[in-house]
């Protein structure tokens, strides 16, 4: 089906693609995988959405459906996946063609601009939160506090967690405290109490060490990004002993996305956004690279 794009979020993965950290899968691929728009044309056999439906276009564009990972519900680990804005053209444009099976219906609780960052930053943060094995009313550390982290924090806080944020941005620290974080310090500062779980959002491998050191016994550090700079050598006794765990997060399943959007609507998650016109996408990416975006950047493409 074809979708007329209204808004597209600007994700850090788009920045990694623009800066060469991720190699494009084909020349001149159009980035953008947090697109919100209106279905304006149906392909042969399309029936899930009608003309005029408001839908979201996410990072996972397609999975094979037949490999052992897809068959047992782990399509995020599919051996032949396609990703929006990397393998197939994404939402930095006026129209995008989408496989209806991998699109999301948008809850009425969200405006286009509010929901766009939820389609990747929100969903992947939600999966990272679950992978971190945060116990009920647990102590959660967040390293980096941009588009994904500020959405994930709202879920964790709504579920009763104590949230400690470590980030180099003073504006992000202020946002964290405004949202209800217990503390907010510099990127490599130790939190004021041991952590039951932590999530690394910043693509900075050196932060793995202080994050692991901050964990209490049995704690887990989940790395939320698709890209991470090299991790320095770990010391077993200091960073991993006493059943501390380090795990990665790879994409997401459609189940993750549907569950997150339902939870986000129910608890009232709200994205802090900065809007740019489509022809200023380069400026939006530059601002993201230099921590000039507090929350999430979005491109306004066509009017509602």
pLDDT in tens, the chain (304 residues): 999 999 999 998 999 888 888 888 888 899 999 999 999 999 998 999 999 999 999 999 999 999 999 999 999 999 999 999 999 999 999 999 999 999 999 999 999 999 999 999 999 999 999 999 999 999 999 999 998 999 999 999 999 999 999 999 999 999 999 999 999 999 989 999 999 999 999 999 999 999 999 999 999 999 998 899 999 999 999 999 999 999 999 999 999 999 999 999 999 999 999 999 999 999 999 999 998 998 899 999 987 6
Q: How many domains does the chain have?
A: 2
Asked, for residue 257, whether it belongs to a domain, the answer is no
**Judgement on whether residues 75 and 134 belong to the same structural domain of the protein:** no
CATH number, domain containing residue 238: 3.40.50.720
Name the token pair of 275.
């809007």
CA distance 223 to 202: 9
Helix (H, G, I), strand (E, B) or coil at 62: strand
| CA count, 13 A, side-chain hemisphere, 4 | 10
> Could you tell me the CA-to-CA distances from 135 to 130, 148, 177 in Å, in that order?
10, 20, 22
Nearest Cα neighbor of 272 from 178, 182, 205, 157 is: 178
**Judgement on whether residues 80 and 112 belong to the same structural domain of the protein:** yes
Whether 136 contacts 82, CB under 8 Å: no
Asked, for residue 267, whether it belongs to a domain, the answer is no
| Strand pairing class (296-300; 54-57) | unpaired
| CA count, 13 A, side-chain hemisphere, 43 | 9
**Judgement on whether residues 179 and 209 belong to the same structural domain of the protein:** yes
Nearest Cα neighbor of 169 from 288, 273, 265, 35 is: 288
Name the token pair of 260.
């997150």
**Judgement on whether residues 148 and 112 belong to the same structural domain of the protein:** no
Name the token pair of 220.
């887990």
pLDDT of residue 79: 97
pLDDT of residue 304: 63
What domain range is 22 assigned to? 2-117+272-300
pLDDT of residue 277: 96
CA distance 210 to 214: 6
**Judgement on whether residues 219 and 278 belong to the same structural domain of the protein:** no
């Amino acid at each position: 089906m074809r979708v007329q794009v209204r808004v597209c979020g600007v994700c850090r993965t788009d920045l990694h693609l623009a800066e060469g950290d991720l190699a494009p899968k084909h020349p001149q691929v159009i980035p953008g995988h947090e697109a919100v728009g209106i279905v304006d044309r149906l392909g042969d056999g399309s029936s899930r959405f009608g003309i005029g439906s408001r839908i979201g276009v996410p990072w996972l564009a397609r999975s094979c459906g037949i490999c052992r990972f897809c068959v047992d519900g782990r399509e995020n680990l599919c051996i032949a996946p396609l990703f929006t804005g990397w393998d197939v053209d994404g939402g930095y444009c006026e129209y995008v063609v989408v496989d209806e099976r991998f699109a999301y219906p948008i809850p009425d609780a969200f405006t286009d601009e509010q929901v766009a960052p939820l389609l990747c930053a929100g969903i992947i943060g939600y999966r990272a939160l679950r992978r971190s094995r945060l116990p009920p009313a647990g102590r959660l550390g967040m390293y980096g506090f941009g588009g994904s982290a500020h959405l994930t924090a709202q879920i964790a806080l709504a579920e009763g967690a104590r949230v400690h944020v470590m980030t180099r941005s003073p504006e992000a620290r202020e946002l964290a405290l405004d949202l209800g974080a217990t503390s907010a310090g510099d990127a490599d500062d130790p939190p004021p109490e041991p952590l039951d779980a932590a999530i690394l959002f910043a693509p900075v491998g050196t932060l793995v060490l202080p994050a692991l050191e901050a964990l209490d016994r049995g704690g887990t550090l989940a790395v939320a990004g698709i890209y991470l700079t090299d991790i320095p050598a770990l010391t077993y006794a200091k960073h991993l002993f006493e059943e501390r765990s380090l795990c990665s997060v790879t994409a997401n399943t459609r189940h993750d996305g549907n569950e997150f959007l339902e939870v986000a609507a129910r608890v009232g998650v709200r994205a802090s956004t900065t809007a740019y016109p489509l022809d200023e996408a380069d400026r939006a990416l530059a601002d993201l690279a230099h921590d000039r975006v507090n929350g999430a950047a979005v491109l306004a493409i066509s009017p509602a």
